[in-house]
Structure formats: structure tokens, C-alpha cells
Amino acid sequence: MFKQHQDFAKVVVNDFLGGPKIIKQCHIINAQKGLTAVFVVFLIWWYQNFSLGAYLYLGLHGSYGVIWVVKDFTFPDRTFQNKITIGSLIFTVSLLGLYWVIAWLQISEGIQNPSNGRVVTAIFAYVFGVVLMIVSDCQKYYTLKYKQGLITEGMFKYNRNPNYTGEMLLYSSFAILSGNWLAYAILFTVWIVGFYGFMINKDISFSKKQGWNEYKKQSYLFLWKVHSNDIINYALYGALVAYLIWDYQVSGAITLLKK
């Protein structure tokens, strides 16, 4: 099943509908991410929404686009350096365009004055996610530059895809700000269609390398294997999810400290 998924993902991402390969995928990604701030500013002007929620969204999503472009010019991801067909170009633009739908949701009808708890949660998820992604990609780039093979230490020791974990966290901050269920649905769609495919492809590639069996035992696909016992790990993550749900229901646990 994984092999079929890998073949399907490669076709969609690189060779969809066939034909000549005309442009590197990284150029499409950089253009979309780099222009995000401009797009959000346009939305702010169009909807005349100069609220805290709009400015905060611009600060988070807009800065991420700039950070991504700087990252790609400094230590590019080899995954996106291949040229793609027109069909794959359309697929890439469509998938990335879903992120701009979240921006539209926020500026057009999102929460204009988010609560303190929502602001803190969004900023925490964004900052942690960006740092996790940047540090992981940097480690991966410079490690593979001088030594090929599995990366089984540092950020990748217990999590095989900390860079994708970081991206999921930072994108979650945008949905948190918007407070719109459609924003969460978009993220899950992108993660399943895009991120999951990339992670499975990596696992299939890793399985051919020396030390894979040991590495797989000590790590999870995109979460940290903090304990050798899987049941304990599942319990810890389950408790974390339960806490986050409770925290959301009480509008931030820190509010309980008020006298």
C-alpha cells in the first residue's frame, strides 16, 4: 500500500498529466509564500479590516512567508528542486492556494478582536512551529551536505519529520486566529494530501538505508517518541489533547489565576 501511495504522490507532485517539465517546484512555493504578506495587505484594504485580528494574522502568516523564502535561499529543501509538469504546477498552486483561503476567512469574517488566550495560543504555536521547522531543515541540509544516510540525532532523534511537525504547528496558529472550522478542515486536507504523502515517501526511502530498523523503533512519524513504551506515549499525547480541549473550553487556563 505504501509503495502505491509513493508512486501516486510522485506522479501528482512531479508528473501530473504528463508533458514537459517547465519549472522548479520551489519557485512556485516561494512565490506563493513570499507574496502572502502582500495578499493579506490587499485583503485588509479590500475589506477595510484594520482590527487587531487582521494585523496579528498579517504579522504571523506574512512573516512566515518571508522566513520561508530566506530559508530556501540559504538552505533549500532538495525535495522541491525538481522541475514539474503543467499539471503538477496546477496541483501545487491549488494546494498552496488553500492557505490563502484561511487568510481570506480571517480578514473577511474572522475574529477581529481575539481574546488574550487565543492570541497567546496562536503566538506560542507559531513561534514554536517556526523554530522547529527552521532548526530541523537547517540540521538536515548541512548534515546531508557532508554525510549521506539517516539523520538519527538532534531534532530527528525521536521524531522522523520534526520539520513537518513545525509546519503543522505554525499553520495551526492561523486557524486558531480565524476561529473558523473551515480553516481547520483546510489544514487537515493539506496535511493528508500533501504532508502525509511526503512523510511516507521519506519512510520508504529511509527503509533502504542502513540502520532503518533501529531508527524506526526509536522514533515516530511526526511526533516525539518520548518513552520506549508506546502505550505511555499514547497516554501522554492523549492527556495533552484533553488538556488543550479543556483549556479552550475555559478560555485559557491562565484566566483561572485571576482573583
- The CATH number covering residue 127 comes to 1.20.120.1630
Percentage of the chain beyond pLDDT 70 is 90
Structure-block grid coordinates of residue 19: 508533458
Kindly state whether residues 109 and 182 are assigned to the same domain. yes
Q: Answer yes or no: are the C-beta atoms of 191 and 172 closer than 8 Å.
A: no
Kindly state whether residues 213 and 241 are assigned to the same domain. no
- Cβ contacts of residue 9 below 8 Å, gap of 6+? 197, 198, 200, 201
What pLDDT shows up at residue 201? 84
Q: Is the pLDDT of residue 12 over 80?
A: no
Kindly state whether residues 170 and 252 are assigned to the same domain. no
Q: What is the DSSP letter of 85?
A: E
Kindly state whether residues 191 and 251 are assigned to the same domain. no
What pLDDT shows up at residue 71? 96
Kindly state whether residues 242 and 180 are assigned to the same domain. no
CA distances from 93 to 73, 97, 101, 119, 217 (A): 20, 6, 12, 30, 36
If we measure between CA atoms, which residue out of 246, 253, 247, 251 comes closest to residue 111?
Answer: 251
If we measure between CA atoms, which residue out of 191, 174, 78, 197 comes closest to residue 126?
Answer: 174
What count of other Cβ atoms lies within 10 Å of the Cβ of residue 154? Answer: 12
What pLDDT shows up at residue 183? 96
Kindly state whether residues 156 and 234 are assigned to the same domain. no
Which helix (H) or strand (E) is 83 found in, with range? strand 83-85
Which tens digit of pLDDT belongs to each residue from 62-71?
A: 999 999 999 9
Mean model confidence pLDDT for the chain: 90
Mean of the pLDDT values across residues 245-259?
70
What does residue 159 show for φ and ψ, rounded to 5 degrees?
Answer: -135, 120
Mean of the pLDDT values across residues 142-159?
94
Q: Which pLDDT band holds residue 6 (cuts at 50, 70, 90)?
A: low
Taking the C-alpha atoms of residue 256 and residue 258, their distance in angstroms, rounded to an integer, is 5
Which tens digit of pLDDT belongs to each residue from 179-196?
A: 999 999 999 999 988 888
Domains in the chain, number: 2
What pLDDT shows up at residue 251? 65
Kindly state whether residues 221 and 231 are assigned to the same domain. no
What count of other Cβ atoms lies within 10 Å of the Cβ of residue 217? Answer: 9
Which tens digit of pLDDT belongs to each residue from 87-106?
A: 889 988 998 999 999 999 99
Which pTM value belongs to this model? 0.90
Kindly state whether residues 186 and 162 are assigned to the same domain. yes
Taking the C-alpha atoms of residue 153 and residue 11, their distance in angstroms, rounded to an integer, is 32
Kindly state whether residues 187 and 255 are assigned to the same domain. no
Kindly state whether residues 238 and 214 are assigned to the same domain. no
Taking the C-alpha atoms of residue 79 and residue 207, their distance in angstroms, rounded to an integer, is 17
Which tens digit of pLDDT belongs to each residue from 219-231?
A: 999 999 999 999 9
Kindly state whether residues 82 and 111 are assigned to the same domain. yes
Q: Which pLDDT band holds residue 18 (cuts at 50, 70, 90)?
A: confident
Query: Could you give the residue ranges of the DSSP H alpha helices within the chain?
Result: 2-14, 25-34, 36-47, 52-57, 63-74, 86-109, 116-146, 162-178, 181-190, 196-206, 212-218, 230-249
**Which residue segment(s) compose the domain that 246 sits in?**
227-259
Spell out the long-range contacts of 40-45 with Cβ–Cβ below 8 A and sequence spacing 24 or more: 40/103, 40/107, 43/103, 43/104, 43/107, 43/108, 44/107
Kindly state whether residues 134 and 78 are assigned to the same domain. yes
